[in-house]
Amino acid sequence: MTGFGRLTTHVLDTANGHPARGMTIDLYRVDGDEAKFEKSVITNDDGRCDAPLLEGEALAPGAYRLCFHAGDYFSRVSGLPVEFLDVIPVDFRVGDATRHYHVPLLASPFGYSTYRGS
């Protein structure tokens, strides 16, 4: 494979109206019922990762899971215990590993939305 694709994310705290700085995100490759841990990152001041989660040869076609540690983030921001959402899993597939896959997350302590961004 000779692709130059990449996987990125961006997390917005919709409860407080700003990027979700300091949220932990775990990346897994999924094969059937097995999820293999790849890496853990923490969002920067803009709610993004400092580098792509995967890029180039490391991004292969297949199934992936991003686990956003929203409960820890919102507990830290509010000083309150986790009341509802804890870890938000987002499962998706990469078909063409030469393309850019951007997975934004808009999150609050009680709901979230995600989509394939650009």
Annotated binding-site residue numbers for substrate: 10, 48, 115
Q: Which residues are part of a known binding site?
A: 10, 48, 115
* Whole-number Å distance between alpha carbons of 17 and 68: 18
**Tokens representing residue 37 in the block:** 């841990």
DSSP assignment string, 28-62: EEEETTEEEEEEEEE--TTSB-SS-SEEGGG--SE
C-alpha 76, offset from chain centre: 18
Question: 110 and 17 in contact (C-beta within 8 Å)?
Answer: no
